[in-house]
Structure 1
């Protein structure tokens, strides 16, 4: 590993940089394949290396150049009657999530993050479905949860994934378009708030430089694999990758592997 690469990650070991590279690639693969899930893969692993606050700033910088054009292209296929109420509620609760992130200690945040992701994957993979068109109260509630999770760990797509992937009437194409359109808009809103809070920094931008290409490759591969996958395969791969990422990041294993 070159000295230049190491200089972009002050205080991070070579093993830690490798973890960030792998997490970025896997997160990009899932994001391109499903339309969501980068943060659900990246954040549990990156928080082990950098801590939740620094990882939150880094993930925004990595994803932003990709989220905006993907969201723009998905806009014409998205169902905006569902997306807008979610976005409004999420914007209101985002600052609460950020406040909790900066208040809670690092290990507590790692437990919360990993357990939230594991619970979401368990619910999505359980086969539970709801029928019919979601009403406004449900949409606002899911949006509020999304904003809270976005502020805590940039995993605002997680409640939305449960919301849309669990909808019996939704197919993978609509789910993917809704998620990409939502994430594109929420990226602009969350970036403004995170910058004002001092969470997005020059250090975040420098660390992101070598990760852009890795993320782009994963995103490209995932996008092309989406065309080839069946509905069942689509769900299974997304759930498994997210589950393993959260499982590996649990503080439970720190003593066993010397982390």
Structure 2
């Protein structure tokens, strides 16, 4: 039986992770996986957690992606999607074969390096090149496949731009996730990560996640661009802490 029914503590953990992850995702446009995956993996295992997060997030990603599509910058989103699509299957392959502790160390190290660059004031000038966009998309695909952290490279990518505004970053992220959800759904189904059993487990999580998204989205309009970046950096730091294999 699902842990929501057989283990109140485990069920409470999943519900709380869905609510808090929804708040972060609704406010910043990313971060659901960084909250949900470490907690859910402790309850149902890493592979199941990745499949579960796709089932919970898919309806909302498609809806929010549609709302942001017209305001997103297509010349930035589409190359990222191409890179992600190419390497997403590799990430899923790694999920089932790479040592979990090694994967978590690699993830934490990459995020920490990117965060250090951002907080020290590093920014790239001008528009990102096509090669850079595809490479960042590939990193997102890998991260999404083996850790469901595909939003992290993208958030760092856009936050490092000198010209990117908070609203534009958020629209780009929302549009990207709407499109990538369709791609990852096919890959995850083929890889056995999305199953009927996990779909049943995901149903009770839809309400707290949707509530968190709503509150987070409405709170976004109350924040300045500077506050948005500070909150985004805090989420990134939290991701590093949660990803460390010492826990």
TM-score, length-normalised on structure 2?
Answer: 0.92
Q: 2:243 aligned with 1:252, yes or no?
A: no
Partner of 1:56: 50
Distance 1:118 1:44, change over 3 A: farther
Gaps of 5+ in 2: none
Contact 2:84 2:137 in 1 (8 A): yes
Partner of 1:149: 143
Deviation at 1:9, TM superposition (A): 2.2
Q: Map 1:157-176 to 2 at 5 A.
A: 157-176=151-170
- Alpha-carbon distance in 2 for matches of 1:114, 1:203: 30
Q: Map 1:87-102 to 2 at 5 A.
A: 87-102=81-96
Partner of 2:234: 240
**Per-residue Cα deviation, 1:124-155 (whole angstroms, up to 9, x for no partner):** 43432111011111111111111111111121
Question: How many equivalent pairs are there?
Answer: 247
- Alpha-carbon distance in 1 for matches of 2:241, 2:43: 15
- Alpha-carbon distance in 2 for matches of 1:190, 1:179: 15
Deviation at 1:113, TM superposition (A): 4.0
Contact 2:139 2:153 in 1 (8 A): yes
Distance 1:47 1:109, change over 3 A: farther
Residue 61 of structure 1 aligns to a residue in which SS? helix
Deviation at 1:236, TM superposition (A): 1.7
Contact 1:29 1:219 in 2 (8 A): yes
Residue 182 of structure 1 aligns to a residue in which SS? helix
Contact 1:45 1:246 in 2 (8 A): no
Partner of 2:29: 35
Give me the CA root mean square deviation.
2.0
Contact 1:34 1:226 in 2 (8 A): yes
Deviation at 1:108, TM superposition (A): 3.3
TM-score, length-normalised on structure 1?
Answer: 0.88
Partner of 1:106: 100
Which of 121, 130, 133 aligns to 2:124? It is 130
Contact 1:56 1:153 in 2 (8 A): yes
Gaps of 5+ in 1: 1-6, 254-259
Contact 2:28 2:220 in 1 (8 A): yes
Deviation at 1:94, TM superposition (A): 0.6
Distance 1:116 1:44, change over 3 A: farther
- Alpha-carbon distance in 1 for matches of 2:200, 2:15: 14
Partner of 2:63: 69
Deviation at 1:39, TM superposition (A): 1.2
Q: Map 1:185-200 to 2 at 5 A.
A: 185-200=179-194
Deviation at 1:249, TM superposition (A): 5.0
Residue 251 of structure 1 aligns to a residue in which SS? coil
